[in-house]
Chain A
Amino acid sequence: MKCPDKELLSAFFDNEVPSPYREVLEDHIRTCDHCSSVIHKYAKMHEQLLDLQRNEIVPEVNKGVLEFCEKKLKTMPATPHFHITWPVLAAAAAFMLFIGIGLSVLLFTNRTNEIMVEVKPATTVSEYSLSEVVDYLSKQQNSRTIEIPGQLPIETSIQPTIVREADFNRSGK
């Protein structure tokens, strides 16, 4: 077996290599002088680092501090703190985005229909005929641009008459 890199040996030394790789490495280290010397070096440094604290006296737990903390804990409100976690926040954001896109699509579709009505080509009546114009207007709900060949521009004073005719015909039906 080819020697593993030192990074893997370092992880092996820290017991961070899972089975079955660990056993394979163990077998290799047992028979490889180079790898066993690396492990030996790590072990020696580990011992030296631990030696620094070997004779160290850790001060006893400070009872005064502990009592102070316990008192402070008792004065803290017992109600649990409402905490919004990231997954919940992300789910809410995704939901809002979904709703937003849905609404946008719906509004856009309606608007397109409106535009389509608006851009409908202007109707041209074949000849100058008031009854034909009135007939046409009576069939329509919305106002339309009417072009009458040879009679442009239409005098604004005529329009009220046309409208009144149309209203009259519509209400008569």
Chain B
Amino acid sequence: MSVDSSQFNDLYSAMYVPLFRIVKRITGNEDAAEEIVQDTFIKVLDYWSKFETTDDARYWLIRVAQNAAINWAKRSSKEHKLYQRVYSEQHVGMDGPEQTHLKTETEQLVQNALQMLPEKFKRVLILKEYGELDYKEIGKVLGITEGNVKVRVFRAREALAKALEELGYEVS
């Protein structure tokens, strides 16, 4: 794709919010989400000439931001566990970095259930629910087939329902 600042502006405007939401859901941290999204937009410029269409740039942005968010969450979780071990009395009831600023008990329950999902289910469900992507687009982001996305979304939903029930919340 040739260098065109209007194309980049359009992409930035269209992708900023969904990207922020996806990253925020994974990290649970607003500041980290903002930083990761901005870094990803700066990084995309280095690869700009390799994209054939704006959609390719879009899928690249989501993939890279999502990976960065997962890495951040893992790093943060390790730090949190270490911190919790030292100052356990101050952090009773908190499971990870994603547990901040939750407004209601149900929201916290859903957030906990979401974090309980295996990584591949969590990724696909977050892209579906917060990225507002269809199966084909999710497949492009994750590098899997549409059929595979369909199966994973279904299994992720079932796993989420099971996790919610385990936490004592009736879904059906």
Contact = CB atoms under 8 A, between A and B. Distances in A.
A150 interface: no
Interface residues of A, number: 39
A73 B150 CA distance: 38
B40 to A, nearest CB: 10
B109 to A, nearest CB: 9
A24 interface: no
Given A52-B110, A65-B41, A73 B5 contact: yes
Interface of B: 2-5, 8-9, 12-13, 16-17, 20-21, 24-25, 30, 34, 38, 41-42, 45, 48-50, 52, 103, 106-107, 110-111, 114, 125, 128-130, 134-135, 150-151, 153-154, 157-158, 160-161, 164, 171-172
B42 A68 contact: yes
B21 A56 contact: yes
Contacts of A58: 16-17, 20-21
B101 to A, nearest CB: 9
B48 A11 contact: no
Contact of B172 (A40, A65, A66, A80): A40
Given A50-B129, A51-B110, A70 B21 contact: no
B5 A70 contact: yes
A52 B25 contact: yes
Interface string A77-100: 110110100000000000000000
6 contacts: A10-B150, A50-B129, A52-B107, A69-B12, A78-B2, A83-B50
Nearest to A70: B5
A120 interface: no
A73 to B, nearest CB: 5
A45 B161 contact: yes
Contacts of A83: 49-50, 52
Contact of A66 (B12, B24, B52, B134): B12
A76 interface: yes
A143 interface: no
A83 B34 CA distance: 33
A14 B103 contact: no
A12 B130 CA distance: 18
Contacts of A74: 3, 5
A51 B151 CA distance: 25
Contact of B111 (A42, A52, A59, A69): A52
